Amino acid sequence: MDTAIRATGLGKRYGEHHALRGVDLEVAAGTVLGLLGPNGAGKTTTVRLLATLLEPDQGRAEVAGFDVVRQQRQVRRRIGLAGQYAAVDGLLTGRENLELLGRLLHLGRKGARARAAELLTRFELEGAAEKPAQTYSGGMRRRLDLAAALIGRPEVLFLDEPTTGLDPASRLVLWEMVREQVAQGVTVLLTTQYLEEADFLADRILVIDTGQVIAEGTPDELKRKVGEEWLEVGVSTDAALPQALAVLAPVAAAQPEVDRTGRRITVQLADGIGTIAAAAVALESAGVPVTDFALRRPSLDDVFFHLTGRGTQVGRAPEEGAQPLAQGPEGEAERDEKAEKAAPGEKAGRTENGEKAEREPVAAATARTGDEQ
Amino acid sequence: MSDIGASAGLGTALGDTAALIGRHLRHLRRTPEKIIAITLTPVTMVVVLGYLFASVVTVAGSGEYHDYVMAGVFAQVGLTCVGVAALGVATDLRTGLIDRFRSLPMGRSAVLVSHTAADLLTAAAATFAVTLAGLGVGWRIHKDAGSAVLGFVLVLAFAYVMLWLGALVGMLMRNAEAINGISALFLVVLSFLSNSFMPLSGLPAWLRAVAEWNPVSLVAAACRELWGNAPTVAGSSLPDRHPVLLAVIVVAALLAVLVPVNLRVYRTAVTR
């Protein structure tokens, strides 16, 4: 079986509200699809339809080769679901939670006990196995939740915002655990508000907004949609800005954009590596006081902004904790502020293509898009 | 949808239910305050009504007031069950546990059956405590053992029906405060619009008819009949003449309606 999840024209309506309007998606077995979108985009509805918790009003879907409406039982035998809520029973211990699910999956008493022990070890929960789950930290609860979703050795795993609200360290641990499952051949459909998470885990990304697919592709393809690499130059004085602009104009593919408060210039390059060298040489020979000179690739933040016209706050997530997608002008203003605060401290650690360089241009990109509007 | 439940063998369905009942029993063991709270209210009622009020209230044609009122207090235990089940089911919905259970290949009846079955155990404990308190204030059963047992079976059957009603309320309302409000209102209206604490002879005719057919009245009247606590001057209405038969029919009919409605709502119950 090559396609683990296939949906065509999925639609779901709640009264007048169209939660989902004709979503098509296909996930190859053993790969990860990231479903990306803001709150209310239809991510959770999609997962609920595919996990047989809801029935679609339109369209159809197959999971692991079975129809989600007509063959629910077969689908349910092959899926694991970890929802937004870390659905574990707080009064039961970690072990009891897993053993209960094992019994409900008909592994038998012995089988359930063995599988629970195995998962507790793998998810580093042995120490807390005999404590009630309500005493667990957020990260431990999510790990227990993921373990619970894996009890039946599912072929297809649905993760609905698996790391929302987690601290950075716990998120990394959880990401590694998801990757481990993928390495073992599990197909994963993951919803997230965090572009970074999709970038890290997903092979392909589906961006949805107001119940519709607005973009699809690999993370790289989506980034390419926004544009090629660009050059960012920071200068130390206001006076140097016009000077640097004059020097950079000849190598630019389009009118360079200027962020006066940050004293930065963003340049779309006419053609690749040759232009970078030319720009560097020109700046150096003109004696421009350059504080920063970096090649940036668009992040998924830029992609999302480009597609929906709404910003996100996700770029600097690992340092500041994950921020949900900002919607509306307030969030954007807040983000700009944060970006400015964050910028000076990060300068020291900049590299051309390291992780930081990937995330860092959010401020610049936002400023650019802001100028266009 | 048809393959759910139908193809789940009875054995697996029972196994699922048993596993989930185990879960609820653990809950009870870890939160004994729940059982205490459920038991304490009706026990207090027994003391207040059967001991304090008994000295000032007399029911025409009846012996002691505590003999009359006990059946009403037992029916109260049943009414309290609405809130108990509603909160339990709503909590499972809110925490996403029901989503998880629904994503498993198990029969859809197991979750609700186990909820109501485990809560019935709580109701039985409360019934037992009320019985002891009743005997303490001087209440006595004046009929044979078989008829006495039948009365208790009826009390528990009524409680079971109320648990299913509660499960439905929990799935539809979800919000704990709303559930508390509704079940308190339900408790007050249904118990005071019944013969639980006083005979209905003083009510205007139309209101009396409503109160007589209130299932709480039917169950209480039936229990009085079965325990030999009924007033000697009985009315001439249908519920007055055949309380036991009517109580059994109404309880069974309610259950026959509530269970399928519950299962239907459960199938599409949405978290949030």
Q: Are residues A174 and A301 in the same domain?
A: no
Q: How far apart are CA A97 and CA A108, in angstroms?
A: 15
Q: How far apart are CA A24 and CA A189, in angstroms?
A: 14
Q: How far apart are CA A216 and CA A204, in angstroms?
A: 7
Closest CA to A307 of A229, A208, A189: A208
* Per-position DSSP letters for A155-202, written without gaps between them: SEEEEESTTTT--HHHHHHHHHHHHHHHHTT-EEEEEES-HHHHHHH-
Q: Are residues A174 and A311 in the same domain?
A: no
Query: Which among A172, A191, A217 is the end of a domain?
Result: A217
- Of A196 and B181, the one with more pLDDT: B181
Contact assignment for A92 to B26 by CB distance below 8 Å: yes
pLDDT over threshold 80, residue A297: no
Please report which confidence band the pLDDT of residue A314 belongs to, taking 50, 70 and 90 as the band edges: very low
Closest CA to A324 of A332, A309, A312: A312
Element (H, E) at A6: strand A3-14
Q: Are residues A281 and A249 in the same domain?
A: yes
Please report which confidence band the pLDDT of residue A165 belongs to, taking 50, 70 and 90 as the band edges: confident
- Could you tell me if A225 lies within 8 Å of chain B, comparing CB atoms? no
Q: Are residues A244 and A129 in the same domain?
A: no
Q: Are residues A209 and A236 in the same domain?
A: no
- Per-residue pLDDT at B91: 92
Q: Are residues A29 and A145 in the same domain?
A: yes
By C-alpha distance, the chain B residue nearest A93 is: B26
Q: How far is CA A370 from the centre of its chain?
A: 23
For the segment A282-311, the average pLDDT, to the nearest whole number, is: 79
Which sequence spans correspond to the domains of chain B?
3-268
For the segment A289-295, the average pLDDT, to the nearest whole number, is: 86
Q: Beta-carbon neighbour count of residue A109 at 10 Å?
A: 12
For the segment A328-347, the average pLDDT, to the nearest whole number, is: 38
Please name the member of B12, B101, B103 whose beta carbon is closest to the beta carbon of A51.
B103
DSSP secondary structure letter of residue A70: T
Reported ipTM: 0.86
For the segment A23-35, the average pLDDT, to the nearest whole number, is: 94
Please report which confidence band the pLDDT of residue A306 belongs to, taking 50, 70 and 90 as the band edges: confident
Please report which confidence band the pLDDT of residue B234 belongs to, taking 50, 70 and 90 as the band edges: low
- Which CATH number characterizes residue A242's domain? 3.30.70.100
Strands (E), A300-354: none
Q: Are residues A347 and A248 in the same domain?
A: yes
pLDDT over threshold 60, residue A326: no
Please report which confidence band the pLDDT of residue A229 belongs to, taking 50, 70 and 90 as the band edges: confident
Q: Are residues A48 and A64 in the same domain?
A: yes
Return the sign of the alpha-carbon dihedral for residues A202, A205, A208, A211: negative
Contact assignment for B106 to A104 by CB distance below 8 Å: yes
For the segment A289-312, the average pLDDT, to the nearest whole number, is: 76
Closest CA to B245 of B270, B269, B218: B218
Q: How far apart are CA A156 and CA B104, in angstroms?
A: 13
* Measured torsion, CA atoms of residues A8, A13, A16, A17, in degrees rounded to the nearest 10: -80
- Per-residue pLDDT at B4: 43
User: For chain A, what percent of residues have pLDDT higher than 90?
Assistant: 42
Helix (H/G/I), strand (E/B), else coil: B220: helix
Query: Which among A200, A217, A234 is the end of a domain?
Result: A217
Please report which confidence band the pLDDT of residue A239 belongs to, taking 50, 70 and 90 as the band edges: confident
Which of B33-47, B137-151, B189-203, B224-238 has the weakest average pLDDT? B224-238
pLDDT over threshold 60, residue A312: no
Please report which confidence band the pLDDT of residue B62 belongs to, taking 50, 70 and 90 as the band edges: low
- Per-residue pLDDT at A221: 85
Average pLDDT, chain B: 88
Query: Which among A188, A217, A246 is the end of a domain?
Result: A217
pLDDT over threshold 60, residue B34: yes
- Per-residue pLDDT at A272: 66
Element (H, E) at A33: strand A32-36
Contact assignment for B99 to A87 by CB distance below 8 Å: yes
- Could you tell me if B264 lies within 8 Å of chain A, comparing CB atoms? no
Closest CA to B103 of A145, A180, A336: A145
Residue type, A204: R
pLDDT in tens, A39-77: 888 999 999 999 998 889 999 999 999 999 999 999 999
- Per-residue pLDDT at A352: 38
Residues of B in contact with A89 (CB under 8 A): 23, 95, 97
Task: Please state the domain count of chain A.
Answer: 2
Residues of A in contact with B19 (CB under 8 A): 100, 103-104
Q: Are residues A368 and A268 in the same domain?
A: yes
Q: Are residues A232 and A273 in the same domain?
A: yes
Q: Are residues A190 and A43 in the same domain?
A: yes
Range of the domain at A304: 224-372
For the segment A217-241, the average pLDDT, to the nearest whole number, is: 82
Both tokens of A274, joined, read: 């040759």
User: For chain B, what percent of residues have pLDDT higher than 70?
Assistant: 93
Please report which confidence band the pLDDT of residue B64 belongs to, taking 50, 70 and 90 as the band edges: confident
pLDDT over threshold 90, residue A110: yes
Q: Are residues A109 and A248 in the same domain?
A: no
Helix (H/G/I), strand (E/B), else coil: A94: helix
